[in-house]
Structure 1
Amino acid sequence: MSGLDPAIAARLKRNPDGLVAAVAQQRGTGEVLMMAWMDDEALHRTLATRRGTYYSRSRQQYWIKGETSGHTQYVHEVRLDCDGDTILLVVDQEGAACHTGDHTCFDADVLLEAEG
């Protein structure tokens, strides 16, 4: 059972595994840092602590960004999109956001470059 406010929980549209996509964005620059999954409890923990807390599908457990790496996320804002199926976290990222050590998970593969 989650401590998430029932009014917030009622607005979430979860996938069949009970998860919602969560996108972390750098405060000030708008740079997209990473995407991870949250369930109701991960969202509750994030709202309560202002630390990016996610649910690992492979390990089937919660993880706090930076808990082992030191690359922490301080959460300034949490927003729910109009469909209720994506959460946006506006964060101050300390160190790398990506598990590869890159600042963002979206540095490696550019599929289409901007023109000009």
Structure 2
Amino acid sequence: MTTDEAQAVIDRVTFAGDGLLPAIIQQEGTKDVLMLGYMNAEALRRTLTEGRVTFWSRSRQEYWRKGDTSGNRQYVRAAALDCDADALLVTVEQHGPACHTGAHACFDVDPLDPVIGHSDD
């Protein structure tokens, strides 16, 4: 995607009050949900134009690309905004674990035991 095309997407996005957009990262092929991160307009532009997922770190207040320190990179394969343009789904080719704990996905770390709903309720 060109910079101009990325800007047209950014102009459509509904960023939260803090200027961030939640980005759900999904593995290509398996469709596993790997992690959730946040992007501001610049991180979204970089993700759409550079082919690597870039986030905005809320705790460190800086940009970071998955894998720059760990080697567990995420290469963009597809991206889609949700119907309200206030959340992003990025499909990636994941190299190594996605979670900083070493787990395959961040959602593998703390599974819960909710009551299971039934369609006849």
Q: TM-score of the superposition, structure 1-length normalised? A: 0.90
What stretches of structure 1 move > 6 A for 4+ residues in a row? none
Show structure 2 runs of 5+ residues with no match: none
Partner residue in 1 for 2:72: 71
Q: SS of the counterpart of 1:106?
A: helix
The reply on whether 1:98 has 2:99 as its aligned counterpart is: yes
CA distance in 1, matches of 2:31, 2:93: 11
1:36 is aligned to: 37
Q: CA deviation at 1:91?
A: 0.3
Aligned-partner residue type, residue 32 of structure 2: E
Amino acid at match of 2:57: S
> 1:109 and 1:6 mapped to 2: Cα distance?
37
1:51 lines up with 2:57 in the alignment: no
Structure with a larger share of its residues in helix: 2
- Distance, in Å, in 1 between the alignment partners of 2:64 and 2:31 is 24
When the two chains are superposed, the root-mean-square deviation of aligned CA atoms in Å is 1.6
Give, in whole Å, the separation in 2 of the partners of 1:97 and 1:70: 10
Identity of counterpart residues, as a percentage?
A: 50
Secondary structure of the 2:60 match is: coil
Which region of structure 1 is more displaced relative to structure 2, 10-19 or 104-113? Answer: 104-113
1:10-48: CA deviations, max 9, x gaps?
211111110000010000010000000001100110111
In the alignment, does 2:86 pair up with 1:85? yes
Corresponding residue pairs, total: 113
How far residue 108 of structure 1 moved from its aligned partner, in angstroms, is 1.9
Q: Which residue of 2 aligns with 1:109?
A: 110
Cα shift readout 1:34-85 (whole Å, capped 9, x = no counterpart): 0000011001101111101000011110001000000000100011111111
Give the Cα–Cα distance (whole angstroms) in 2 for the partners of residues 74 and 81 of structure 1. Answer: 20
> One-letter code of the match for 2:20?
L
